């Protein structure tokens, strides 16, 4: 069964450093998403992406965040200058369309020290 | 997007049927009801989706009354591995597709 994959599984970084989280969505999917989940809290939507541009973003997705689809398979989330409060699990998801089921990856646990 | 309300937690024993009810009084005509499951330190996993009446798959059943203001996820004969958080989501995806997760129901299955 096709699945979404994410790398790395864990990332530790110093405050102020840039991090790039990588995702490989399911191959025939066209819609991509990033969510995050701070420990013990809800899963929160960050951004959706279609046709090489952002479709929607939440208030969390400020200027420190960016997304990119650098090639035909990868979908990345960049945090330009990490803050302590960016520590969370980051989940990538993909779907056939906005109305279809979203399939989530296993997540990247980011720890900012 | 319609707001949902579900119990914070539920306990069950292996082999029992578990029913988790979700209230969504403001559900819109175009909205679907979707349930996701999440294990600790893993991404949410789609379980089932329905619009009205009853939907069944190999994992669960979803019961939706005629007024669609609530729905019930039914897990037959749960096992320890069904211990997880279960989320009820309501929406049509719209033009953005972002999923709005609540706090979910933490199901604990005991031996």
- A91: closest CA of chain B, how far (Å): 6
Residue A33 CB contacts under 8 Å (≥ 6 apart), including other chains: A45, A46, A47, A48, A49, A92, A93, A94, A95, A102, B97, B98, B99
Give which of A6, A3, A54 is closest to B97, Cα–Cα: A54
- B-chain CB neighbours of A33 within 8 Å are 97-99
pLDDT in tens, A17-63: 999 999 999 998 999 999 999 998 989 999 999 988 999 899 999 99
Question: A-B interface: how many C-beta pairs under 8 angstroms?
Answer: 65
Q: Which positions 71-100 of A are in contact with B (Cβ < 8 Å)?
A: 89, 91, 93, 95, 97-100
Average pLDDT over residues B21-29: 91
Chain B interface includes A33 (CB < 8 A): yes
Q: How far apart are the first and last CA of chain B?
A: 38
Distance of CA A90 to CAs A9, A32, A56, Å? 10, 13, 17
pLDDT tier for residue A78 given thresholds of 50, 70 and 90:
very high
What token pair was written down for B45?
């996993």
Nearest residue to B70 (alpha-carbon basis) of B84, B86, B90: B90
């Amino acid at each position: 069964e096709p699945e979404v994959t994410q790398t790395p599984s864990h990332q530790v970084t110093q405050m102020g450093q840039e991090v790039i989280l990588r995702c490989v969505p399911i191959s025939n999917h066209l819609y991509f998403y990033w969510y995050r989940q701070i420990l013990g809290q809800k899963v929160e939507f960050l951004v959706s992406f279609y046709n090489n541009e952002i479709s929607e973003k939440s208030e969390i997705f400020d200027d420190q965040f960016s997304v990119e689809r650098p090639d035909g398979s990868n979908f990345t989330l960049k945090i330009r200058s990490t803050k302590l409060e960016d520590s969370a699990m980051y989940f990538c998801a993909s779907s056939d369309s906005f109305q279809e089921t979203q399939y989530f990856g296993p997540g990247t646990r980011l720890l900012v020290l | 997007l319609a707001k949902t309300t579900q119990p914070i937690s539920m306990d069950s024993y292996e082999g029992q049927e578990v029913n988790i009810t979700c209230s969504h009084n403001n559900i819109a005509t175009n909205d679907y009801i979707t349930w996701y499951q999440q294990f600790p330190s893993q991404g949410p996993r789609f379980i089932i989706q329905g619009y009205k009446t009853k939907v069944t798959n190999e994992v669960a059943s979803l019961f939706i009354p005629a007024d669609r203001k609530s729905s019930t996820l039914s897990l037959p004969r749960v096992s320890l591995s069904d211990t997880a958080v279960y989320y009820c989501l309501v929406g049509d995806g719209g033009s953005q597709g972002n999923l709005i997760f609540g706090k979910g129901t933490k199901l604990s299955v005991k031996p």
